[in-house]
């Protein structure tokens, strides 16, 4: 019973986290299309900060806590698929951290990446999430 509630909570917050990770680079694209110093730009800074603070930060914490609680409940520490999954989740967490630092740069008026680079960058979480789901469901090793 505990296991099923933990798993339901884990999947719900995975959905919130992934939704935020897909949305934020898209916000960056629109942000960069706004004129520097304009009102519209200030609105994007605010939206990005809220998405990071209200959706992304709580979600990553809950996903990690419930994921580790599941692994402990099922005593999966020696499972190869879990090691591979955790490595990919670490990369995904690093991607999240990079988005946070990119939002700070945008708020300072810097625009390090082009719109095209941001769109390509946006593919990263989708690819990682697909491999993570295959690892946890198919368990190839």
Report the interface residues with ligand HEM, using CB under 6 A.
7, 10-11, 14, 18, 63-64, 67-68, 70-71, 74, 76, 86, 89, 92, 129, 132-133, 136-137
Whether the CA torsion 96, 101, 102, 104 is positive or negative: it is positive
Residue 78: both structure tokens together: 């020696």
* Minimum distance, C-beta of residue 100 to ligand HEM, in the bound complex (Å): 17
* Minimum distance, C-beta of residue 16 to ligand HEM, in the bound complex (Å): 11
Q: CB under 8 Å to 62, separation ≥6 — which residues?
A: 9, 13
Residue closer to ligand HEM by CB (options 13, 102) is: 13
Q: Tally the C-alpha atoms within 13 A of residue 15's C-alpha that lie toward its C-beta.
A: 5
* Minimum distance, C-beta of residue 71 to ligand HEM, in the bound complex (Å): 4
Residue closer to ligand HEM by CB (options 36, 137) is: 137
Whether the CA torsion 129, 87, 112, 47 is positive or negative: it is positive
Residue closer to ligand HEM by CB (options 1, 36) is: 1
Residue 3: both structure tokens together: 């296991």
Residue closer to ligand HEM by CB (options 22, 30) is: 22
């Amino acid at each position: 019973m505990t296991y099923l509630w933990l798993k339901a909570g884990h999947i719900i917050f995975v959905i919130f986290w992934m939704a935020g990770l897909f949305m934020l680079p898209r916000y960056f694209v629109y942000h960069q299309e706004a004129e520097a110093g304009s009102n519209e730009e200030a609105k994007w800074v605010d939206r990005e900060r809220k998405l990071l603070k209200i959706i992304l930060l709580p979600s990553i914490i809950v996903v990690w806590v419930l994921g580790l609680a599941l692994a402990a409940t099922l005593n999966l520490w020696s499972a190869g698929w879990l090691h591979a999954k955790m490595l990919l989740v670490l990369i995904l967490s690093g991607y999240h951290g990079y988005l946070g630092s990119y939002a700070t740069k945008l708020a300072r008026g810097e625009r390090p990446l082009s719109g095209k680079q941001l769109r390509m960058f946006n593919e990263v979480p989708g690819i990682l999430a697909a491999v993570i789901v295959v690892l946890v469901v198919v368990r190839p090793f």
